[in-house]
Structure 1
Amino acid sequence: MTIRAVVFDFGGVLFDWSPQHLYRKLIADDAERQWFLDNICTQAWNTEQDAGRTLAEATRTLIHQHPDHHTLIQAYYERWHEMLRGELPDGVAILEALHQADVPLFGLTNWSAETFPYALANYPFLQRFRDIVVSGELKLIKPDPAIYHASLDQVRAHLPDIQPGEVVFIDDVAGNIEAAVALGWQGIHHVSAERTAARLRELGVAF
């Protein structure tokens, strides 16, 4: 089956995002910093914001639970842009090459609706996408099948007769790829740009 659209995840594929980038400035000791990110401002806590919880509610709730860490918790979203170190050039190079080859491009990202506008305003390569599904806007999150259905509906708004097997999804989280494949999509677990580019060509995508 011919691939007619490519859907990209963002973090770890196109963006170098990590709380470590900010908290290295705030907690000098490696072990102490890792403990804080594993036990206070955890990835699971951040994921709730990607799923639609407001930043204000998330911050308030966590400070109530851990008042001794008030300042460090407050910094998470006040200085969130410092976690977004920049683009991943190799991943963006694939995106640009696909764009030059007129391959229809779409985004499907777990991202807070409140922080995503910063990325949209500061990273012009996001204009390459015909449409982007942002989890925080839908209050759905990968790997929930519902967000993949929403993404496919979005693709079909541009390519009305496209079938799931004609869509390939690129994500750095294996479980997110497995969820897409279970719905009939093609999937590429992004480990390196070289492997992703090679797999796209194996699927017949010319770029």
Structure 2
Amino acid sequence: MKAVVFDIGNVLIQWDPHLAWLDEMGSREAVAEFLTRIDFQDRNLRADGGENFTDLASELDDAEDRRRLGVYVERYAITVPHKIEGTWQVLYRLKEQGTPVHAITNWSAETWPVGVGAHPELGDVFGVTVVSGQERLLKPQPKIFHRLCERAGLAPENCIFIDDGLHNVEGARAVGMDGIHFTTPQALEGALIERGLL
């Protein structure tokens, strides 16, 4: 039997880091300028790989930038406000018919508990959940896909991996998994129907 392995951010849960500072800074443009200035994308990826935001903030020269990044974890819940309902419907259909569902997510070890607090389903819907910050491994590194397979008792060729990042899908394919590049819940449903999973 095939198992379906989900990414979480922007597949099952909307994530928008701008929201952490929008009320304080007043506009998405102002927040975007701040995120660019501190190279948030790179620092966030480092956090996903196991670093903590206090240390990442301490590297910044500007005191206000340090303060802002330093409060990110406590504000994290407002950056993940909504479930992507159509994807959840697909996930629950898979579970109802007995298909194993698992998850691999690039997510900080610090913010993961906050995300689960905001969306408790994340804590119990999957058979196995591999969180990059806890493992100190990142998609698309081969080891993170093998870690999921080891824990779930699966061979890569028996996994279908879904991610909104094409580079992560290609990483999954490189270790032998089937891969679906997520764009919309409707397109995902169609791809799973094509594979005989729905």
TM-score for the superposition, normalised by structure 1? 0.88
After superposition, the C-alpha distances for 1:161-207 in whole angstroms (9 at most, x for unaligned) are x432221000000000001111110000000000111101111103x
Alignment of 1:118 onto 2:110: no
SS at match of 2:92: helix
Q: 1:101 maps to what in 2?
A: 97
Residue number in structure 2 paired with 1:154: 151
Report the Cα offset of residue 23 of structure 1: 2.2
**Aligned-pair distance for 1:72?**
2.1
1:91-119 Cα shifts (integer Å, max 9, x gaps): 11111111111110101000111221222
User: Deviations along 1:30-82, whole A, 9 cap, x unmatched?
Assistant: 432211111215111111111001232222223xx222423322232221111
1:204 aligns with 2:191: no
1:70 aligned to 58, 66, 69, which one? 66
Regions of 4+ moved over 4 Å: none
The equivalent residue for 2:164 is: 172
Q: How many residue pairs end up in the alignment?
A: 197
Query: Counterpart in 1 of 2:126?
Result: 129
TM-score in terms of structure 2 length: 0.92
1:187 paired to 2:179:
yes
Change (3 A) 1:119 1:70: closer
Distance across 1 between alignment mates of 2:118 and 2:16: 17
Q: Does 2:127 correspond to 1:139?
A: no
SS at match of 2:179: strand
Name which of 36, 39, 44 aligns with 1:38.
Answer: 36
Gaps of 5+ in 1: 157-161
Alignment check: 8 A CA contact 2:58 2:66 kept: no
Which protein has greater RCO, CA pairs closer than 8 Å, 6+ apart?
1
Q: Measure, in 2, the Cα distance between the counterparts of 1:171 and 1:198.
A: 15
- Identity value in percent: 31
Name the residue aligned to 1:47: 45
SS of 2:104 mapped into structure 1? strand
Aligned mates of 2:147, 2:66 — CA distance in 1 = 37
Instruction: Provide the aligned C-alpha RMSD in A.
Output: 1.6
